[in-house]
Structure 1
Amino acid sequence: MYAAVVRSFDSAAKYEMFETPNPDGKHEILVDVVAAGLHPRVRSQANGSHYTSKEELPLIPGIDGVGRLEDGQLVYFVAPDTSFGTFAEKSVVDLRRSVPLPEGADPVQIAAAMNPAMSSWVALCRRVEFQQGQKILILGATGNSGQMAVQIAKLLGASQVIGAGRDQERLHSLPALGADAIVSLVGEPEEVADRLGEAASEVDIVIDYLWGKPAESAMVPLLKRRSDRSRKLSWVQIGSVAGPTAAIPSVALRSANFQVIGSGQGAVSTAGYVAELPALIDAIASGKLNVNAVSFSLSKVEEMWDAPISHEQRVVFIPTK
């Protein structure tokens, strides 16, 4: 079969012939891959930097996709935890990690949106006791996952969604996606923290794609301005775009009902992720979430791997010859 193959963590995947993998588990089958998204998680998989990396080469990247079963049924699936991912003409699927697509669903839209949408959806549905009417701050709302998180927070019933980010153009596009307020993260750290404290002190949940200094400097200002510090504030750490570590002041944990938790592989079981897939697929397929996908033949993988693409777009590869 043809596949995108990584033979060095220092170079992009290359389109070449590769031996077709064989299903060997009780619930595994081989499917034709219809579409697979080039997510940031795929890039970190391909360069060996993701915390789940096993540093095994050669590697076929791709962590999820849409496949076609022998009977023609389209399914969304999460790839097994092996070195053989979804950037190939065929992929092994564990049926326990797959969900049938509703009739009429666009495979490219599903492949583009599921991964960036899943982080905030699973965080709100599995990691915190989110209730309709609560208020949410999204740190890093101008990234692809952050923009999706704005939409998902509103869709799930948040009464107020505050988007915070650095990209000014994308920041000002967030109200059209459902943000009730926006906060610029450009400026001196103290000024930014003060703006966040003023705008978001009454939120119930923070969805954090940044971590690092932005998180570190914002925690205390948010807590100090709360009208009732005994009302829980849940800080959900999902991404670390701004840095892998953040110093959490001890006073933040003692002076308020404040919890910091993570959401990701390991924090949520595979079964937990799969249980959320049908509802999320329905939301995407029914047009409740805005998706900006651009598709390319998988044969162009090396050309498109580092090509300049708008952060508002999600690249999807279609394994056609």
Structure 2
Amino acid sequence: MRVNAAVVRSFDEPPHHEGFDLPDPTGADQAVVDVLAAGLHPRVRSGASGRHYTSTGRLPLVPGIDGVGRLADGRLVYFVTDDDLPGSMAARAVIDTRRMVVLPEDVDVVRVAAAMNPAMSSWVALRRRVPIEPGQSVLVLGATGNAGQMAVQVAKRLGAGRVVGAGRNPAALALLAGLGADVTVALGEDDDAAAAMLAAAASEVDLVLDYLWAAPAASAMMALLRARADRSRALDWIQIGSVAGPTLELPSVALRSANLRIQGNGQGAVSTRAYVAELPSLVEEISSGRLAVNARAVPLADVEAAWTASDVPGVRTVLQP
């Protein structure tokens, strides 16, 4: 089946809008959907550049890890793509029906396509990796990015008593109070100064959602542990993103002198079945308006321009065929 799609033929170039031969569905668990909206997430960009840890290096490819589409029987669905199939940035896509959830007909497809991926990282982290207990406090490290802003809202929705949001972008930082942050911390070029402010604001948090990693995370981690009144009280550090870099140098004393528990949240850390089980409740949060979403819709034909345009903090681009 020939469809119009965003096609990556080189990891050094943005996708181009052109024809692509979509494979036929195989087996009872595959179906074709007419794609209505697909989010341009950072995870999509890293996969299309060959840098994501799940990348196979095979080209050409159609990017897109999720989307909203309509099945042949008329049902409106949100779906997560299969790594072995072309992605969602096409007029049509082959999906695994075990990775979808049926949506209400009156849902805003752009909102759902924009919000599900960035919200899912913190939603699953706080429900599956380290289930949050009512009243616990949370630090979102990297809270001025799209996923970080969602994480502030998700933490509050799931019962956090206190949320600290930390990030670099001053304009986005100013918005966090309206999204549920009780305290904000500005991260600058000076890691030591930022660490001191984090120690003052967040030394007693129960959980950290880390979208930064690398040197800023290591500095923050040590600062929080040194300032903690009772180091034997558990501090759960959930590594989600690596905006600041892929590796972290951590003194061994951090693990011996405190009850620090580090784990990640992403593909492989949580089963596909567990992710899918969380889809209905998150769809409800987004479609009901309980999570604020800022999205802009762009025609799929303009994918190259959308791909190379500067990101607007807090705004997620959604492509529509």
Deviation string 1:193-219 (CA, Å, 9 cap, x unpaired) is 111111101100000000011111111
Q: Does residue 1:37 correspond to 2:39, yes or no?
A: yes
Matches within 5 A, 1:156-235: 156-235=158-237
**Count of residues in correspondence between the two structures:** 319
Decide which moves more: 245-254 or 270-279.
245-254
Give, in angstroms, the shift of residue 259 of structure 1: 0.4
Measured in 2, the distance between the counterparts of 1:83 and 1:55 equals: 14
**2:4 and 2:67 mapped to 1: Cα distance?**
16
SS at match of 1:261: strand
Checking the alignment, whether the CA contact within 8 Å between 2:77 and 2:103 is kept in structure 1 is yes
Q: Distance in 2 between matches of 1:279 and 1:91?
A: 24
Matched residue, 2:72: 70
1:208 and 1:91 mapped to 2: Cα distance?
A: 33
Residue equivalent to 1:11: 13
Q: Give the AA of the match of 2:29.
A: H
* Corresponding residue for residue 131 of structure 1: 133
Indicate the SS of the match to 1:175: helix
CA RMSD of aligned residues (A): 1.0
In structure 2, what residue type is equivalent to 1:141? A
Q: TM-score if structure 1 supplies the norm length?
A: 0.97
Shift of 1:102: 2.2
Distance 2:115 2:136 in 1: 24
User: Residue 173 of structure 1: CA displacement?
Assistant: 1.1
Aligned to 1:85: 87
Which amino acid is 2:102 matched to? P
Provide the rounded CA distance (Å) in 1 between the counterparts of 2:191 and 2:181.
23
| Corresponding position of 1:288 | 290
Q: In 2, are the aligned partners of 1:235 and 1:261 still within 8 Å (CA)? A: yes
Partner of residue 112, structure 2: 110
Q: Is the 8 A contact 2:163 2:182 kept in 1?
A: yes
Q: Is the 8 A contact 2:125 2:131 kept in 1?
A: no
Q: Which position in structure 1 is the counterpart of 2:275?
A: 273
**What secondary structure does 2:107 align onto?**
coil
8 Å Cα contact 1:57-1:83 kept in structure 2:
no
Indicate if the aligned counterparts of 2:17 and 2:300 stay in contact, CA closer than 8 A: yes
Unpaired segments ≥5 residues, structure 2: none
State which drifts further: 190-199 or 285-294.
190-199
User: Structure 2: which amino acid aligns with 1:112?
Assistant: A
Match of 1:97 in 2: 99
What displacement does 1:297 show?
Answer: 1.0
1:250 correspondence with 2:241: no
216-225 or 32-41, larger mean C-alpha shift = 216-225
Please tell me the residue identity of whatever aligns with 1:36: A
- C-alpha offsets along residues 246-295 of structure 1, whole Å, 9 cap, x if unaligned? 11221111111110101100001111110111000000000000001100
Percent sequence identity is: 59
| Whole-angstrom CA distance in 2 between matches of 1:90 and 1:120 | 29
Q: 2:258 is matched by which residue type in structure 1?
A: A
Rounded Cα–Cα distance in structure 1 between residues aligned with 2:61 and 2:154: 33
C-alpha distance in 2, partners of 1:259/1:72? 46
Query: Deviation above 3 Å: which 4+ runs of structure 1?
Result: none
Q: Residue 120 of structure 1 aligns to which amino acid in structure 2?
A: S
> SS where residue 259 of structure 1 aligns?
strand
Contact 1:56/1:83, CA 8 A, preserved across alignment: no
**What SS class does the counterpart of residue 159 from structure 2 fall into?**
coil
Deviation at 1:129, TM superposition (A): 3.1
Paired position in structure 1 for 2:122: 120
